[in-house]
Each structure stands twice: as C-alpha cells, then as structure tokens.
Amino acid sequence: MRSAAPAGPERAAFYERISPGNLAPLWESLHALVTPQPVSPVEACLWRYAEVREHLMEAGRLITAQEAERRVLILENPGLRGQAAITRSLYAGLQLILPGEVAPAHRHTQSALRFVVEGEGAHTAVEGERTVMRPGDLVLTPSWTWHDHGNESDRPMVWLDGLDIPLVRMLDASFAEKLNAEEQPVSRPVGDAPARYGKGLLPVDWKPRSQTSPVFSYPYERTREVLETLRRTEEWDPCHGLKMRYANPATGGHAMPTIGTFVQLLPKGFATEPYRCTDATVYAVVEGTGRTRVGDRVLDWGPKDVFVVPSWAPHRHDAQEEAVLFSYSDRPVQEKLDLWREARG
Ligand code: GTQ
C-alpha cells in the first residue's frame, strides 16, 4: 500500500485504536484503490501445450474423470496463484477425458465455454442435447444448465475450459448441484439447436429465456469458412487483422452474458499495431505460429498453446505463419457496466 505521507507515531497509534472496531483510514490506501489507470497483479504468461499435455496425461493415470468429477489442470496466472484464476474475473483449465470416460452431469450458476484442443468425437450434452466436439469447436454451457461430457472415441480428448468462476465467487452467487445419474437423458436429436436457432430462422413464438445464445455449439468448420470468405475483401484491421465476435443469433449480443468470445485471422507476416483494452484476454492458438509482445514480455506461440494478456497492457501480435487465434474475456460485463475502454497505438 502506498500512503500519502509517513504515518508517524500518533497516527499509527490511532489506526491501532480504531482497528478492533473494523475501521481503517482511507487516506492510507486511496491511491492504491482508485488508480489513474488499471494496475493489475495479472501477468502476461504462456502455457506451452506440449508441456501441459504431459502433466495432463499423468493426471489421467492418477485419477478417473468420474472420481475427479472434472479432470482439469487449472491454468493459474502467476500473479494470482492459489486463486484458480487466469485473469481477475475468469478461469481457464485444460480438461482431459479418456476413451470410454464420462464427466458426470451437473449444473452451476457459472457460465462455461469449451474450446476443443485435441481429439475428435467426444460429446458435451447440454439440457438434453448432445453436440459432437472437434478441434476448434466452441461449445457453451450456459449458467444453470445441466451438462455432462463423454468420450466414445478411441483417443484422449482435451479442451480448454473457460469459466466465470472468479467473477461469480466475487459476487458470492455460486449455486451447484449434481444429477443423480451419470449422464442426463437425451431428449433432443443432434443438430436440433443449430436448426432451431442457428440458421437465420427462429420458431415463430420463441422468446429467449436466458441471455446466453441458444446455439450452444459453434463448429470450427463454419468459423473457418467465415474467415476464409471475409479475407477476400482485404479489410485488415491494423490492431486485430480480421477479428469476429461469437454472437447470440437471437439478440446480436455476445454469445454469453459474462464471457466474450472472439476469433481472428492473421495472415502470414502480419504484424499488428499496439493495442490495449481493459478486458484481460485469454488466447488459444488454433493455427499457425507467431509472437505476441506484451510490454517487454515476448510470448512465442504455436498451435494449441494458451496465453493471457492483462488489462490495459499494450500488446501486438506477429504472425510468422498464417494464424488463427481464439480468445475470451469479460468484455460483455465491462460493456454493460460502462467500464470497457480500448486504446490504439
Ligand atoms: O466441465 O463443468 O474446468 O464445472 C471447472 C468447473 C469444468 C465443467 C471446469 C466445471 C467444469
């Protein structure tokens, strides 16, 4: 804590006297509380997939998905150790499901995203509907929806979990319960939600019941096709390349109320201009290799790596090869609260 002036014995004695009454002098901490710009303990950091994967496979030998409920290695920000947080508001973890395993059904008020990193053919079920998971797919499990995961393929399946755990903890708004069955009953055919909500048509009398997109799977095949089509116009944003936001088709808003999700294409050799924003951002590399400079930190990345950029840290990306980056942040929350800011250059 920075203080305006050294306390001196008289003031120090005063602080001691008021402390048992749960009182503290604002003037000793005001400067640290109300800062002229964001001051964050969050550090820029990269997790190399090959290294984390080894530990994850060892976890696979030590504990089953059933016993663990979720077999996940949390990506903890070095500035927030012990807090299960990659940024102040958001959580990240790599989840492993081995062939034949099930991560049992539960629901919680925390919203979650899954971004598939390795393997193909496992599924997530959300509210009675299954979706098949392939690398680069984004799957949402909205707040308070039943979900379970299963792997019927013959290979390990790994995905990045992004949740608003720290945010919900800060608000003391966590509720959770387990289903008394491993998997929830399937009540809708595969492809129901994409047909019902994801094709520019909506059931005539349908009204959204939550702020999360009713389309809970965004397959990479379609995402990639969008990037491939739009690149033809060569409208590169100097700070982002070609960047898209995953949207709730019913409202046009973010796909989830607490977590913003994005994907961007950087052509080979593209170097972005310096940029900063108040939403600390988690990146997952889908394709390509490159380098992100965050202040004086250099993060060299390749496919499947995960890295994080703190709030208000100036950063720029260099794509050595054509690259596709997925990212998520608490931007929707900050926008709703009129807090979100960005600066270019
Ligand atoms: O799959 O529901 O990484 O509840 C952390 C908490 C995953 C999940 C996590 C969870 C889940």
* Residue 6: inside a domain: no
- Distance of CA 210 from the midpoint of ligand 1 (Å): 20
Ligand 1 center from residue 238 Cα (angstroms): 36
Give the atom of ligand 1 at the shortest distance from the alpha carbon of 110.
4
Q: What is the pLDDT of residues 65-75, one digit of tens each?
A: 999 999 999 99
Number of structural domains the chain divides into: 1
Q: 53: pLDDT confidence band, cut at 50, 70 and 90?
A: very high
pLDDT tens per residue across span 87-111:
999 999 999 999 999 999 999 999 9
Instruction: Give the pLDDT confidence of 170-190 residue by residue, as tens digits.
Output: 999 999 999 988 999 999 999
For 73-85, write each residue's pLDDT tens digit. 999 999 999 999 9
Taking residues 138-157, what's their average pLDDT? 97
Q: Tell me the DSSP string of 155-184.
A: S-EEEEEEE-HHHHHHTT---EEE-SSSSP
- Cα of 257 vs centre of ligand 1, distance in Å, is 18
Encode burial over 45-75: b for 16+ CB neighbours within 10 A, e otherwise: bbbebeebbeebeeebeeeebeebeebbbeb
In a domain, 329, yes or no: yes
Compute the distance from residue 93 Cα to the ligand 1 centre, in Å. Answer: 8
Per-residue pLDDT reduced to its tens digit, 117-133: 999 999 999 999 999 99
Pairing between strand 260-266 and 45-47?
unpaired
Ligand 1 atom closest to 114 (CA): 1
Share of the chain above pLDDT 70, in %: 99
Position 267 scores a pLDDT of 98
- Position 22 in a domain: no
Domain hosting 127: range is 45-344
Confidence at 64, pLDDT banded by 50, 70, 90? very high
pTM equals 0.96
Around ligand 1, the residues with Cβ closer than 6 Å are: 70, 72, 93, 95, 108, 112, 147, 161, 163
Q: Given this model, what pLDDT does residue 5 score?
A: 62
- Please compute the mean of the pLDDT values over residues 141-148 and round it to a whole number: 97
Looking up tokens 């060569």, which residue turns up?
A: 234
Question: Does some domain include residue 64?
Answer: yes
pLDDT per residue over 333-345, tens digit each?
Answer: 999 999 999 999 8
pLDDT band for 112, please (50, 70, 90 cuts): very high
Helix (DSSP H) and strand (DSSP E) numbers for the chain? 8, 22
* Model pLDDT, residue 1: 47
User: Is residue 25 situated within a structural domain?
Assistant: no
pLDDT at residue 4 in the model: 54
Separation of CA 271 and ligand 1 centre (Å): 35
Counting from 1 in the atom list of ligand 1, the atom nearest the Cα of 161 is 3
Q: What is the pLDDT of residues 196-231, one digit of tens each?
A: 999 999 999 999 989 999 999 999 999 999 999 999
Closest C-alpha residue for ligand 1 atom 11: 70
Alpha-carbon gap, residue 316 to 319, rounded angstroms: 10
Q: 248-278 pLDDT, tens per residue?
A: 999 999 999 999 999 999 999 999 999 999 9
> What local confidence, expressed as pLDDT, does residue 7 receive?
78
Q: Across residues 146-157, what is the average pLDDT?
A: 96
- Among protein residues, the one with the nearest Cα to ligand 1's atom 1 is 70
| 70 Cα: distance to centroid of ligand 1 (angstroms) | 6
**CATH for 276:** 2.60.120.10
pLDDT reading at 2 higher than 90: no
pLDDT at 345: 86
DSSP letter for 241, please.
Answer: B
Whether residue 332 lies inside any domain: the answer is yes
Mean pLDDT in the chain? 96
Q: Please, which pLDDT band fits residue 6 given cuts at 50, 70 and 90?
A: confident
On the CB side of 189, CA atoms within 13 Å amount to 4
Shortest-distance Cα residue to atom 8 of ligand 1: 70
